[in-house]
Structure formats: C-alpha cells, structure tokens
Structure 1
Amino acid sequence: MLDKNKVSVGITPTCWTNDDSPLLGNDISFGQIVSEMALAGYVGCSIGHKFPSDDDEILLELGRRGLRVSEPWASTFFTVNKMHDRTIEMFETTMKRIKYLGSDIMVVAELGHAVHQQGYPPVANKPVFSEDQWKALTEGLNTLGKIANDAGMTLCYHHHMGTGVMFRPEVDRLMNETDENGVHLLLDTGHLYWAGDDPVKLAQDYATRIRHVHLKDIRQDKMEEANAKNLSFIEGVEEGVFTVPGDGAIDFKPIFDALGNADYAGWLMVEAEQDAAKANPLEYAMKARKFLRDVAGV
C-alpha cells in the first residue's frame, strides 16, 4: 500500500489543453484549468502552454488554489550532432526556473529524431539509435544527472511514444547504461502500454528506481484502431487513445502495490491527453481522483 504521507497527487494540464496539439482545448483559460485542478482535489500540476510567462504570477495563482508545481518537461537532443552543449545549456536554464517555482524534479526525454510531433505513426516510424547515438545519450544523461544532483534536484527519464526510448528493451538499455544514482525513471503507464509492453512488469522491475509517475490509461479499442489505421501520435490522442486511470484497459492495482512495496515517495501525476470537447476535463479529473483514493489509498 502506498503511504499517503509520502505521495503527492497531481494532474497535468493535458486533460484540458495539449502542448503537442495546442488547438485541443484552445478555448480553455489558464484560470479555468488551475481552478478545476484544485476543485477536483489535486495538490499540484506540471506547467503547460496556457500558463503565464511570469513565474511570480504562476506562483501567485497556484498558491491561491493550494497547488504547487510538480515538474517541467525538458527535451534533450544528445543524439543529434553538435547538440550536446546546447542540450546541457537548455537543461540548466529549465532547472533554474523550475527550482524557483518550487519543484525538485526534472523530467527529460530524448527528442532527437522523434516522430510523435511530426505526423508519422509512432510505432513503425520511431527512431532506432546507433551505437554512437546510444553512447551520446547515456553519457549526456549521466552529465545531467550529476548537474541535477549537485543542485538538489532529481532527474527522471520519460520513455515516450515516437522516440528512441519507447519499447521496454530500450528502457532497459537506458537504465543499464546510466548511473542509477543520477538517472532515475519516470514510469508512464499509457506510453508503455501503447508501445506494446507491460507497465505492471516495468513497475515491479524498477520500483526502487522510479522517482516520478505519470498515470495514463488506454482505451483498448481506440489504441487498436489507431494502430490499424497507422494514425500519428497526435491523431491517436485526438481519437481518444488516452484516458484517465481507471477508465481503460490498464490494471493499476499491481502497479500501486509494486510502488508501495518499494516505499515510493513522490508524485503520482494523472495525465490524460484528451480532446476536452469529447471528454469534459473536470469530470474526468474528478473520476481519476476518486479512483486513486479508492484503489491506491492516496
């Protein structure tokens, strides 16, 4: 059982709007998003494109609602030639900002050659890294992990559809070839399930290295339809592949058990990339919050 005194439950803005497809939920304001997050019973959130550019305004508006920032997204490009130094520079800039906003988590994903934003079917068209690219990635992540540790932050790697670290063997390789003290794992249940792998097994195998969790569920019929039609990642999102935990095909109870047995401490982030016109964000946010109380005990 998860210890509710060690776990914070948050939600991402993707239930309302989408950074990869900004027209989804474009009519929904920042104020509505954060107010409904608080109304649904969450204590934190990640930052989305609807958020103000002024960090003090973000802190003010979140504070008024009893919310705090859980994480940023920081893209890495270590597998792209001549992007090593620029990637580190971008990471340090984002880390400085997120630390000011009160978070100690840095979420990263390698987007070198990724296809999830380019309109290609993610499974068939994902990049496959060469040995040199793997070396550049793992060494680069080790560097970021040390930078994060020195700043009192925790680096968590996000496996992601349409990227070079998408399938379970790629997650395994990344974990095996990086420093376990500096590079931790973000478990994203929906991304791994869509990739055809088992999020329960990943949670069980890496429970002690998981430091951040994104909770997505999958509508099985929509996923199978997206794969059969060779839809892009964004098209799959628009068609409703993702939903909130408890509303789809994934069995979350053994995932929560594995994390609880490892004395998990950190964020559980509800993340359902959905079209708000098809799935009312507040309704689904409340549904997910109830599910986590009932099933995870938090």
Structure 2
Amino acid sequence: MSANITTAGQERSDRGIKVAGAPISWGVCEVPGWGYQLDRDRVLSEMRGVGLTATELGPDGFLPTDSTELRATLAAQGLACVGGFVPAVMFRDDHDPADDLAGPLESLIAAGAGVVVLAAATGSDGYDSRPVLDDAQWATLLANLDRLAAIVAERGLVATLHPHVGTMVETRADVDRVLAGSTIPLCLDTGHLLIGGTDPLELAKAVPHRIAHTHLKDVDAALAGRVQSGELTYTEAVKAGMYTPLGTGDVDIAGIVSVLRDNGFDGWFVLEQDTILNGEPTGEGPVRDVTASVDYLRAVTS
C-alpha cells in the first residue's frame, strides 16, 4: 500500500490515514438469508492479501467468541481488530440494550479493538422496514445511547452511533435528533447516510467534531432513489449493485476524506461495499472490488 495509507501496527505520517476492511464487503452479514456466506479464512486472507492489516469484527458467529481463539484467528492472518457493528434495541422501556451489547463488547475487548459501532435496531431481522417512534420512545433511545456510551467508555473503548437504513436512526431528521439529544459521536457511513437522505459531505462539514469512526461506501444514487421512493427494498437494491467500488458511484469520497483530515480526524476509515452473494464466487469474487477501492483511496490521499 501507499506510504500515506497506514493500517494497524504501522507508524502514521502527519497526512496518513488508518484504513481497515470489513467482512460485509465479502457478503458476510448478520441478516438471516442475506446470501451465501464465505468462509472466514478466505475473507481474512483476501483482506490481508490486498494490503489491509485491520478489520472490523463482523457479525456474531463469523469470528470465534472464545477470547483465546479469537486472538489466534486474527493473529494467524496478521490482522488487528479495530471495532465491530453492534445492533441494539434502544427505544423500548421493557428491554435493556446493555444485554445486546454485553457479548460483542467482551469480544471487542478481547480482540484489542477501540470502537463499538452501535446501530439503533428495530428488533426485527433485516433493514427493509422500521416503525415510527413517538416522543417517549425517542427519549428512551437517546438516554440509552448515552448510557451505552458510558458503559463502553468504562471498558476503555469508544462507542459511536451508526445511522443506518432500516434502523431507528436513518433520516437526516433522525440524525439531527441524535446530535441534539445525546453526546454520542457518530460513525459516518457515507452510503447509509446518502440512502437515508443525508448528504455525507455536508454532515462531515457541519459536525466534524462529532465523527469518531467512518465507513466508506460509494453508492449508485439512482438505485438509492428507488429505495427512498419505496420502489425497491434495501435488500433488493443491494442485490442490484447499489454499492459500488469507491470512486465509481455518486458519493464524494475524496471530498469527505479531505474534510475529515483537515479537521483533525484521527479515526479509522473502514472500507465497506455491502454485497450479497448467490453462491461460491468463480474467479476473483468480491476481492476485486475491494482492491479497486483500496487503489482509489490510495490515489486520492497521495
């Protein structure tokens, strides 16, 4: 990789950035029936093969839950763990989201990660629909965000909130409500924000101090518009190729990276291109698009 893109375990120059991979770029997802799930050894070895030395944890069951086995699995591939995606139901009075957090948090601590990426889950599988919250449910959600962030901080990690299609924080109005009603920093997911109706570049400019972690996705805006109109479900759009290699879609990835760097962002840029596989890939498979994204990020940060 280029000298100015650095990963876990490497010294970083003043203008360097920290880049990690994510299993979802290989189609590995927590949603039941999402698609064919590749073997973890292939995913991790291909991740390492494109020059990445760090990853997010992936869904429950992708990596071992036993601490010793988890560390050994990552070490065998020369990978560090930077964080993990943790859906938690936070809007219900009769459910404690700390229970949703407990297991993943222990795994992240065992893996030496620094970030917990929370999503305000609906309580249902998948991301194709979500309920509408009343003010009392919003108050519960916001209070739980700060409570979970405090739990995470007590264990030495940083919690972020990931605006995500099909969760309780999806639209720009939802994002603004979180910014005003809690202190938790954000995971800036450039794809989910765009699909949910937020310009990720504008958000990065408006609240750079609230962004602690980043998922870099590029998006076909035409397909995103069909999700917004209800013509396609989120899952259908992913199958149709809504997420594209960095630099080939309609998100200003270069502009976002530049704005964050100029404002002193010191977090991770996690490469994500959500993918659904129909079966074992022939030829290169998903790693081809990951390689293209790495090459693009190298070019725009050189």
Shorter chain as normaliser: what TM range? 0.7 to 0.9
The answer to which of 60-69 and 197-206 deviates more is 60-69
State the distance in 1 between where 2:276 and 2:86 align.
Answer: 24
**Change in CA separation of 1:152 and 1:52 when aligned onto 2, cut-off 3 Å:** closer
Aligned pairs for 1:184-223 within 5 A: 184-223=185-224
TM-score (norm 2): 0.86
Aligned to 2:116: 106
Aligned to 2:173: 169
**Change in CA separation of 1:193 and 1:22 when aligned onto 2, cut-off 3 Å:** same
Aligned pairs for 1:64-103 within 5 A: 64-83=76-95, 86-103=96-113
Shift of 1:87: 1.1
Question: Equivalent residue of 2:19, what SS?
Answer: strand
Matched-pair contact (CA < 8 Å) for 1:243–1:274: no
Matched-pair contact (CA < 8 Å) for 1:213–1:267: yes
Aligned to 1:291: 296
Shift of 1:102: 0.5
State the distance in 2 between where 1:249 and 1:101 align.
Answer: 34
**Deviations 1:123-155, CA, capped at 9 Å, x for gaps:** xxx332211011101111111122222221101
Q: RMSD of aligned C-alpha atoms? A: 2.3
Aligned to 1:280: 285
Aligned to 1:250: 251
Matched-pair contact (CA < 8 Å) for 2:170–2:193: yes
State the distance in 1 between where 2:107 and 2:221 align.
Answer: 38
Shift of 1:197: 2.0
* Paired residue type of 2:212: R
Matched-pair contact (CA < 8 Å) for 2:195–2:227: no
Unmatched 5+ stretches in structure 2: 7-11
> Quick one: percent identity of the two aligned structures?
25
Q: 1:138 aligns with which of 128, 137, 142?
A: 142
* Paired residue type of 1:140: N
Aligned residues: 284
The answer to which of 274-283 and 67-76 deviates more is 274-283
The answer to which of 104-113 and 31-40 deviates more is 104-113
Q: 1:154 aligns with which of 146, 152, 158?
A: 158
Q: 1:44 aligns with which of 48, 54, 67?
A: 54
Aligned pairs for 1:223-234 within 5 A: 223-227=224-228, 230-234=231-235
